[in-house]
Structure 1
Amino acid sequence: MNNFSFLQDLAVVMVAAGIAALVCQWLRQPRVLGFIIAGLIIGPHAHFTFISDNESIMTLGDIGLVFLMFSLGLEFNLRRLMSVGSTTFITALVDVGFMFWLGFVIGRFMGWNTMESVFLGAIICDSSTTVITRILQELGQSRERFAGIVIGATIVEDLIAIVLITLLTGMAISGQVQPDEVMFRVGKLVTFLVAVLLSGVVIFRRVIDYVAKWKSDELLLITVLALCFSVSLVAAKMQFSLALGAFVVGAVIAESRAAERISAFIEPVRNTFGPMFFVAMGMLIDPQVVVHYILPILLLIAAIMIGKVVAGSVGAFLSGNDRETSFRVGCGLAQICEFAIIFAALGRTLKVTSDHVYSIAVSAAVGTIFLNPHLMRYSGRLMHAIDAVVPNSFTGNLSVYTKWYRNAFRGPGNPTIRAIVRRTVVTMIVNICLITAIFVTATVLSKTLPALVSIPEVLGGPPALYWLAGALLCIPLYVANIRKLGAMSMLAAEMKFPIDSTRPHAAIARALTEKVVFFAGIAALGIFTLMLSSALLPPSLSLIILLFVIAIITAVFWKFQIRLYGKVRLLLRDAFADQSQGTSDRPIPNHSGGTHLISVPVEESSRAASRTISQLDIQASTGASIIGIERDGQTIVNPAGDEIVRPGDKILVLGHKDEAERASELLAERAG
């Protein structure tokens, strides 16, 4: 290939994409649809040869995929994920789970092998955020309540799809589906994510913030692209995918102070290369295959549309929404696009699916993109038609369930406590991810590096040494999670049975709930650890001895572990100084028991006045945590490290009795 032929190919692709975009704009159809059809027209299966080197266009398509996923990562961040709420999580899990199963069943029904059926399940499980956002805007429905649930659910589904890409890549490479292989793959993924996240906090964000000070968009763009392609390359070298690396680094950079500025100048780059991905994917479609498999394609389109309407509606309804809202959510989810194409291309690239699987999958995606706007437009009429044939007794029972759910899970209860419970759960999940990364790293090292000290096989051999090292490193994380389990169990009991509740035996129920949540969490953490480290576990007797030693170390150095964890957490928290804060207009009630919540008033002469949370360093010095600040009738939940304490505030401190009292004394001290 010479330079002229490459420029000619590039010109053909850009002209085809431009014409497709104009036609779709005129017909009020998603532009993605036009890009795929344009690729079909100029592809190698067309009657006329437009492209001289298909491989060069495929390479441009890979670059387009990197920019698409990087942009998606920039739009995706932890605050956005936390804002979508439990309804969208439930809806997404039901939709993805049901559609994955349905795709596998359809694949087997059509005579496909196991791997092809698994890939088909992945192809049809994820709804497109890009497509539904555009459809909602064009129909003027983007501000309606169901639209927020749909968008939130697609965000969660995108995250699940990222994990599926990793798992399917590992399955395709190993050629088999084994539980231990899947667990190892998940652990490897968590290790990669933790490594990128820590690198992002410690290195990437600081580099980007430093470069951003020079006020040069060119310099900042080059830096961002260097990070993007470097992490994508590392992901590919680790047998993940380019899409995963680009998405993760985008999500990390989204937390930087220059995120909005980066998004602004990345957008035209994405708009240039993004269409090339869809055009390149369209070029892989064989029209003759589409004609030959037209019946399976139509079957798949019908299965996707009907299956997603049913699964999305059921998921939304189970999470407390009324019938009409749930049905409209299901209609919004009834389409697939970019991740379907990515999964189809992944199977083709890894040579685990036949060529016709790709053409069938992409053709089905095109069909759902075309039909979904019409389904959304007439969803109200369809709902009325369904109501006309469904017995009133059945719809009445559905309404009773909705009222019961809202009373049970959205009824009385302190919203500040709900917010604190959510944040505590997130922190515990982060700790579990770090534990996973440590044990997976220990497993990898035990297989690749010899032990520094010879260990007899009767004691477990070298793996036992790596298990012990991993367990010792995880002690601060386990201590933190045990403490947070205690706090969360108390708060969860308060949320379910408020202290001012008039229910009979509320105090007994609150105490029982607190104990059940705490011990269930401890048991789950222990079982998870044993499963995670199963490849390194020493024999039973050695394991008991090591656990006894670890228990003694934990008990003796308990406060040291608390302070160590507190200092590390403060360092990471300061790195996320722009962390969002939630507010509530209701104070948090006090409690008695193992975990204490104390409100400390701040006076003009107090040591805490006019100082930041980081400067007070309460968690590191006492073990207690500042979980909120009451100010002017509102509560700042989980204040950031740079939040300044003002005279007149009330600081909410959570910890065991001695920790909370010590923290109260420090905060109430007069400045001297």
Structure 2
Amino acid sequence: MSHLPTLITDLAIILGAAGLMTLIFKRLKQPLVLGYIVAGILAGSHVTITPTVMDAGNVQTWADIGVVFLLFALGLEFSFKKLMRVGGPAVIAAMTVILGMIVLGYLVGVVLGWKQMDSIFLGGMLAMSSTSIIYKAFDDLGLRTQRFTGLVFGILVIEDLVAIVLMVMLSTMVVSKNFEGMEMVYSIGKLLFFLLLWFLTGIYIIPTFFRRTRLLMGDETLLIVSLGLCLSMVVFATYVGFSSALGAFVMGSILAETIEAETIERLVKPVKDLFAAIFFVSVGMMVDPGMIMEYFWPVILITLAVLVGQATFGTLGVVLAGQPLKTALQSGFCLTQIGEFAFIIAGLGMTMHVTSHFLYPIVVAVAVITTFLTPYMIRAAGPVYPYVEKNLPRKWRRFIEHYTSGTRVVNHESNWKKLLTSLIHIVVIYSVIVIAILIISFNFLVPLVRMHIPGFWGSLLCAGLILLLISPFLRAIVAKKNHSVEFRLLWEDGYFSRAYLVSLVIFRFVLAIVYVMVVIMSLFQASVGLLLGIACVLMAVIFYSRYLKKQSIQIERHFLHNFRVREVYARHSGGKVPPRFAGHLLSRDLHLADFVIPSDSLWVGYTLSELALGNRFDVMVVAIFRGQNCINIPGGMERLFPQDRIQVIGSDEQLERFGEKLQTMTLPPADSDLTQSEVCLKQFVVDEESSLKGKSIRESGIREKYRCVVVGMERGTASLRNPDADTVFEAGDLVWVVGEELNVYDLLNWK
């Protein structure tokens, strides 16, 4: 008998248990992640009544791959455009929740007498809610069209991004073995530098690569290339000192800006589901049920901290963001669970051996409990709101009403704000590119050139090459926005504004000279005054160079084109850009919601004018998405087709009524036995006594009466395929018919 590798046996146990548990949890209408964790508990070494995984090391390796693909898939759904669209309210609310829960988690750990690192990691685990669980709960409860759900999804986007930063911060704490402020600031600055650099470089290169190789990209090739890019970024991120999860997330978010994003997401989903299942099963394998009972009261205390803390800080954050109290309560009560990042952070602590052995199973137990309670907490927001409003002190209530109504006023940006915001973006972005070029040049280019051309001439060649590479970006730092509308308007305001404008130009000029000085002083030995003079001359040449101006503009246009490539593709394929006002509707009673027209909907084939949705439901259809096309502000003669995704504007009540009606307006299921509707192919011979003899196919009524089709006839040695309807049956003909099995047998008995 051949030997079966342990890994295959372990995978059979893991996937078998996971498959069984997912069926059970699907039946119970619970999140699948809980089923995976239960499967892991059964497959782990702590439960002896079921088959046990033999080599946990191999499983952990697969679980690490699962984390990579989880973060890669999350990045594909993330998109930097989505981050820019979430708006200020989501950012304010998310940061309030995260900071509040980190502090609360740390204090709970201190109260329980845990060591400092356990308390810090506990705070990080409790700070993030679960995107997948909340998404599923909204679907199950039919709340996707409610006004507050858009804000909740925005909060979750910010939390996912901050979770990545938090993982890096915790890793830095562990490696440095201290909590020095400057060390932490350096780590965060390094993270932000590389994130911006990877994003800029990726957007500049990768969409162009996919566009030029599109004809070569079948599904198989696209999957392999995407996973190759993902794992390459994982290796590079690990090489420069970051986690593999960060690299996967960054590459996913870059690919999310390409035309192929939806296809990549579809292709990667089965791979992600497989490895994610192994990851969550491995999470369950680390849970010791006996330890959960031993730490029963800490589990209860932390669960209460999550429920109360998330609801409180979530509500407070949304109120601070300027939203009404009802919306704030609904949003806060949705966030009351621990997300998948808690498992990843807990695994980070265990892998680096800095957290106690009891922390992991406690957090998993809390996650299971809070996940089960999520639907009930979401439903509880409705009854809690009238109670809170009634018992809230009058001064507080009036302050909240005044504050939230005041924040809804649209403030026009001043010219100074517009100009300074643009200049900050320009200086930061181009400085990151210049610094990255300098780092790469002095680590790779300079040693290579000096190896072949030593001395002064080698240094001169290096200086020329480096300055040539950074000159378009230096010119952009100095020259951009000097002729903008805001700059001209402020210049015309008077001498006071002109002094500040001149100072801004000088500051940028000095910054560019500093970069040039770094290059020259690193390669040549001379007096500072001489080098400064050379740097000023070089910057003057760069500033007045028409060629560098053209190069700078082309680089920026190429980047912006790649950044908007999905919208550009939509225009060229006959579609239009989706509405851009979705984020601005959250501050009003109206908001956007998406609905999909079911394939069996009774509304299919009717025009918007015939359906009169505005008169019947007080809603307005503002866009129809059909395949790759988008029809903005459709006219009354536009028809609805199966699987159209329509965007509708209305209030919570109007959209809820519309959605309920849409789901009920479907064709009734046919009362038929599917086992009897299978189509089959049969043959029969027309004999002398057959009722078909002498009749044509049309006259026989085979199609009309028995719902069968004659597909062929054989007469002697001749064969006739798809015979004409006027063909007459003769004795001895061999006839082939196709139809449902029962109908065919009825025909054979009749003929």
Query: Which residue number in structure 1 is paired with residue 429 of structure 2?
Result: 430
Could you tell me which of 106, 109, 112 is aligned with 1:107? 109
Query: Which residue number in structure 2 is paired with residue 97 of structure 1?
Result: 99
Task: Indicate yes or no: 2:252 matched with 1:267.
Answer: no
Q: After superposing the two structures, state which structure 1 stretch, 99-108 or 158-167, moved more.
A: 99-108
Specify the SS of the correspondent of 1:378.
Answer: helix
Query: Which residue number in structure 1 is paired with residue 336 of structure 2?
Result: 334
Could you tell me which of 547, 558, 563 is aligned with 2:543? 558
Query: Which residue number in structure 2 is paired with residue 371 of structure 1?
Result: 373
* 1:284 Cα deviation from its structure 2 partner: 1.0
**Alpha-carbon distance in structure 1 between the residues aligned to 2:374 and 2:397:** 26
Task: Return the letter of the residue paired with 2:542.
Answer: F
> 1:249-292, CA deviations, whole angstroms, 9 ceiling, x for partnerless residues?
11122222222211112112222222111111111112222112
Is contact 1:308-1:333 (8 Å) kept? yes
* 1:433 Cα deviation from its structure 2 partner: 4.2
Query: Which residue number in structure 2 is paired with residue 256 of structure 1?
Result: 258
**Alpha-carbon distance in structure 1 between the residues aligned to 2:544 and 2:196:** 26
Specify the SS of the correspondent of 1:386.
Answer: helix
**Alpha-carbon distance in structure 1 between the residues aligned to 2:479 and 2:253:** 29
The structure carrying a bigger helix percent of its residues is 1
Query: Which residue number in structure 2 is paired with residue 230 of structure 1?
Result: 232
Specify the SS of the correspondent of 1:29.
Answer: coil
| Distance change >3 Å, CA 390–CA 450, structure 1 → 2 | farther
> 1:384-416, CA deviations, whole angstroms, 9 ceiling, x for partnerless residues?
111121122321111011122222xx24679x9
| Distance change >3 Å, CA 50–CA 89, structure 1 → 2 | same
Task: Return the letter of the residue paired with 1:197.
Answer: F
- State the identity %: 31
Query: Which residue number in structure 2 is paired with residue 571 of structure 1?
Result: 558
**Alpha-carbon distance in structure 1 between the residues aligned to 2:338 and 2:194:** 28
Specify the SS of the correspondent of 1:213.
Answer: helix
| Distance change >3 Å, CA 420–CA 114, structure 1 → 2 | same
**Alpha-carbon distance in structure 2 between the residues aligned to 1:208 and 1:202:** 11
**Alpha-carbon distance in structure 2 between the residues aligned to 1:551 and 1:432:** 18
Task: Indicate yes or no: 2:401 matched with 1:399.
Answer: yes
**Alpha-carbon distance in structure 2 between the residues aligned to 1:269 and 1:584:** 33
Task: Return the letter of the residue paired with 2:155.
Answer: A
**Alpha-carbon distance in structure 1 between the residues aligned to 2:509 and 2:426:** 14
Query: Which residue number in structure 2 is paired with residue 13 of structure 1?
Result: 14
Q: TM-score, normalised by structure 1?
A: 0.71
* 1:312 Cα deviation from its structure 2 partner: 1.8
* 1:553 Cα deviation from its structure 2 partner: 4.9
Task: Return the letter of the residue paired with 2:554.
Answer: K
Could you tell me which of 221, 227, 246 is aligned with 2:223? 221
**Alpha-carbon distance in structure 2 between the residues aligned to 1:368 and 1:512:** 59
| Distance change >3 Å, CA 215–CA 233, structure 1 → 2 | closer
Superposition pairs of residues 414-429 of structure 1, within 5 angstroms = none
* 1:474 Cα deviation from its structure 2 partner: 6.8
Task: Return the letter of the residue paired with 1:307.
Answer: G
Query: Which residue number in structure 2 is paired with residue 298 of structure 1?
Result: 300
Superposition pairs of residues 433-444 of structure 1, within 5 angstroms = 433-434=432-433, 437=436
**Alpha-carbon distance in structure 2 between the residues aligned to 1:573 and 1:368:** 43
**Alpha-carbon distance in structure 1 between the residues aligned to 2:111 and 2:505:** 41
Is contact 2:330-2:378 (8 Å) kept? yes
Superposition pairs of residues 277-296 of structure 1, within 5 angstroms = 277-296=279-298
Is contact 2:103-2:123 (8 Å) kept? yes
| Distance change >3 Å, CA 318–CA 207, structure 1 → 2 | same
Task: Return the letter of the residue paired with 1:388.
Answer: K
Query: Which residue number in structure 1 is paired with residue 129 of structure 2?
Result: 127
* 1:491 Cα deviation from its structure 2 partner: 8.9
Is contact 2:230-2:247 (8 Å) kept? yes
| Distance change >3 Å, CA 307–CA 411, structure 1 → 2 | same
Is contact 2:475-2:542 (8 Å) kept? no
* 1:477 Cα deviation from its structure 2 partner: 4.9
Query: Which residue number in structure 1 is paired with residue 362 of structure 2?
Result: 360
**Alpha-carbon distance in structure 1 between the residues aligned to 2:256 and 2:90:** 22
Task: Return the letter of the residue paired with 1:76.
Answer: F
**Alpha-carbon distance in structure 2 between the residues aligned to 1:473 and 1:142:** 49
| Distance change >3 Å, CA 547–CA 154, structure 1 → 2 | farther
Specify the SS of the correspondent of 1:10.
Answer: helix
| Distance change >3 Å, CA 311–CA 493, structure 1 → 2 | farther
* 1:493 Cα deviation from its structure 2 partner: 10
Query: Which residue number in structure 1 is paired with residue 345 of structure 2?
Result: 343
| Distance change >3 Å, CA 585–CA 522, structure 1 → 2 | farther
Which structure's CA Rg is the greater one? 2
* 1:91 Cα deviation from its structure 2 partner: 1.3
**Alpha-carbon distance in structure 2 between the residues aligned to 1:413 and 1:347:** 45
Could you tell me which of 305, 308, 313 is aligned with 2:315? 313
**Alpha-carbon distance in structure 2 between the residues aligned to 1:184 and 1:42:** 43
Is contact 2:259-2:566 (8 Å) kept? no
| Distance change >3 Å, CA 140–CA 444, structure 1 → 2 | farther
Is contact 2:292-2:362 (8 Å) kept? yes
Specify the SS of the correspondent of 2:337.
Answer: coil
Q: After superposing the two structures, state which structure 1 stretch, 577-586 or 46-55, moved more.
A: 577-586
Task: Return the letter of the residue paired with 1:288.
Answer: G
Query: Which residue number in structure 1 is paired with residue 458 of structure 2?
Result: none
Could you tell me which of 59, 82, 85 is aligned with 1:83? 85
**Alpha-carbon distance in structure 2 between the residues aligned to 1:513 and 1:111:** 58
> 1:192-213, CA deviations, whole angstroms, 9 ceiling, x for partnerless residues?
4355435534554444445542
**Alpha-carbon distance in structure 2 between the residues aligned to 1:87 and 1:303:** 24
Query: Which residue number in structure 1 is paired with residue 573 of structure 2?
Result: none
**Alpha-carbon distance in structure 1 between the residues aligned to 2:41 and 2:303:** 19
Query: Which residue number in structure 2 is paired with residue 170 of structure 1?
Result: 172
**Alpha-carbon distance in structure 1 between the residues aligned to 2:503 and 2:257:** 35
* 1:71 Cα deviation from its structure 2 partner: 0.8
Task: Return the letter of the residue paired with 1:226.
Answer: G
Q: CA RMSD in A?
A: 4.6
* 1:570 Cα deviation from its structure 2 partner: 2.4
**Alpha-carbon distance in structure 1 between the residues aligned to 2:6 and 2:156:** 40
Specify the SS of the correspondent of 2:407.
Answer: helix
**Alpha-carbon distance in structure 1 between the residues aligned to 2:138 and 2:421:** 30
> 1:4-36, CA deviations, whole angstroms, 9 ceiling, x for partnerless residues?
432222122112212222222222221112211
Unaligned runs of 5+ in 1: 455-465, 495-506, 587-672
Q: After superposing the two structures, state which structure 1 stretch, 61-70 or 165-174, moved more.
A: 165-174
Task: Return the letter of the residue paired with 2:119.
Answer: S
Query: Which residue number in structure 2 is paired with residue 44 of structure 1?
Result: 45
Is contact 2:22-2:35 (8 Å) kept? yes
Is contact 1:184-1:440 (8 Å) kept? no
Is contact 1:70-1:228 (8 Å) kept? yes
Query: Which residue number in structure 2 is paired with residue 239 of structure 1?
Result: 241
Unaligned runs of 5+ in 2: 455-461, 569-576, 582-751
| Distance change >3 Å, CA 413–CA 450, structure 1 → 2 | closer
* 1:39 Cα deviation from its structure 2 partner: 0.9
Q: After superposing the two structures, state which structure 1 stretch, 428-437 or 355-364, moved more.
A: 428-437
**Alpha-carbon distance in structure 2 between the residues aligned to 1:399 and 1:235:** 47
For these two proteins, the number of residue pairs brought into alignment is 555
Query: Which residue number in structure 1 is paired with residue 61 of structure 2?
Result: 59
Is contact 2:197-2:433 (8 Å) kept? no
* 1:314 Cα deviation from its structure 2 partner: 1.8
| Distance change >3 Å, CA 55–CA 117, structure 1 → 2 | same
Q: TM-score, normalised by structure 2?
A: 0.64
Is contact 1:297-1:364 (8 Å) kept? yes
Query: Which residue number in structure 2 is paired with residue 609 of structure 1?
Result: none
Query: Which residue number in structure 2 is paired with residue 382 of structure 1?
Result: 384
**Alpha-carbon distance in structure 1 between the residues aligned to 2:48 and 2:66:** 26
Is contact 2:478-2:508 (8 Å) kept? no
| Distance change >3 Å, CA 5–CA 95, structure 1 → 2 | same
**Alpha-carbon distance in structure 2 between the residues aligned to 1:543 and 1:337:** 56
